[in-house]
Amino acid sequence: MIEYIVPSNIDDRILTRAARMLEDGALVALPTDTSWSIVCSIKSPIAIKKLRQLSGERDERHFTLLCSSVSQFAELCNIDNTRFRVINRLSPGPYVFILKTLPGTKKNLEIRRQEVGVRIPDYPVPISLIKTIGHPLYSITAKRSMSGGDWEIFNEEEADSELPPIPEEELFENGWELEDINGVDLILDSGEERERIFSTILDMCPDEIKLLRKGAGQWPV
């Protein structure tokens, strides 16, 4: 199902309907400041499992918590003053920050690793939906190769390796194209083409910030 929206003035009824669907375990596709993302509620274990199966990704670093403010990061992860200043300077924007999770976050998301990616998109659609539902959303970049295969944990030896860039041809431009992805229950479509770009991923866990994937966000800055 597609709901057409005006990003700068989204109908509250559509946001409320989308939030209710997420709470009931739905997957929602939406545009961000990079490419299209597919999101679910962090409070729905069934939806988290569906998102993993849909993505086919083994590496948990491909999954990102979308937040509406840096203060939400502190509810999910450990952030010291140094990292806070860097994140605050780069947010909102096309950056994913890998941070150490708080125990409750690791348990609720049922992730094996002690880290999780978080970011604040510089685009009103995901921010409006996060504010409506009242908590961050778990997300994955929408890709043409998505299938319903079982999700597995990646080899721990891969943890320190860089993540390869996403090929441009794997990304979507238009919302209607995502109708071909089985498992997506709702598409919030602005009716505009989105750039086929992806975010820059920064590992904030080591003493020195490590670039895991170069994307739309400049690094170093």
Q: Residue 36's domain is classified under what CATH number?
A: 3.90.870.10
* In a domain? residue 219: no
The pLDDT-based confidence of 153 (bands split at 50, 70, 90) is: very low
pLDDT, tens digit (0-9, with 9 covering 90-100), for 68-110? 999 999 889 999 999 999 999 999 999 999 999 988 887 888 8
The pLDDT-based confidence of 137 (bands split at 50, 70, 90) is: very high
- The residues near 216 (Cβ < 8 Å, ≥ 6 apart) are 33, 34, 94, 197, 198, 199, 200
pTM: 0.91
The pLDDT-based confidence of 160 (bands split at 50, 70, 90) is: low
Mean of all residue pLDDT scores within the chain: 90
Give the mean pLDDT of 3-32. 97
pLDDT of residue 38: 97
Q: How many structural domains is the chain composed of?
A: 1
pLDDT of residue 210: 95
The three state secondary structure string of 143-158 is CCCCCCCCCCCCCHHH
The pLDDT-based confidence of 113 (bands split at 50, 70, 90) is: confident
* In a domain? residue 143: yes
- The residues near 61 (Cβ < 8 Å, ≥ 6 apart) are 98, 115, 117, 163, 201, 212
The pLDDT-based confidence of 209 (bands split at 50, 70, 90) is: very high
Q: Give the pairing type, strands 95-100 and 200-203.
A: parallel
User: Which DSSP string do the residues of 58-95 spell out, in sequence order?
Assistant: --GGG-EEE-SSHHHHHHHB---HHHHHHHHHH-SSSE
Omega cis (within 30) before 220 = yes
pLDDT at 159 over 70: no
The pLDDT-based confidence of 161 (bands split at 50, 70, 90) is: confident
The larger pLDDT score, comparing residue 1 to residue 147, is at 1
* In a domain? residue 65: yes
Q: Give me the domain span that covers residue 25.
A: 2-153+162-213
The pLDDT-based confidence of 175 (bands split at 50, 70, 90) is: very high
Across 9-18, 57-66, 102-111, the highest mean pLDDT is recorded for 9-18
pLDDT of residue 185: 97
* In a domain? residue 105: yes
Phi, psi of 114 (to 5 degrees): -95, 5
pLDDT of residue 15: 98
Tokens representing 128 are 């409006």
Helices 124-133 and 12-23 cross at an angle (nearest 10°) of: 60
- The residues near 66 (Cβ < 8 Å, ≥ 6 apart) are 32, 37, 39, 119, 120, 121, 126, 130, 136, 137, 138, 139
The pLDDT-based confidence of 163 (bands split at 50, 70, 90) is: confident
pLDDT of residue 111: 80
Q: Do residues 92 and 120 touch, judged by C-beta distance below 8 A? A: yes
**Measured distance CA(111)–CA(89) in Å, rounded:** 28
pLDDT of residue 154: 44
* In a domain? residue 218: no
Q: Do residues 132 and 18 touch, judged by C-beta distance below 8 A? A: yes
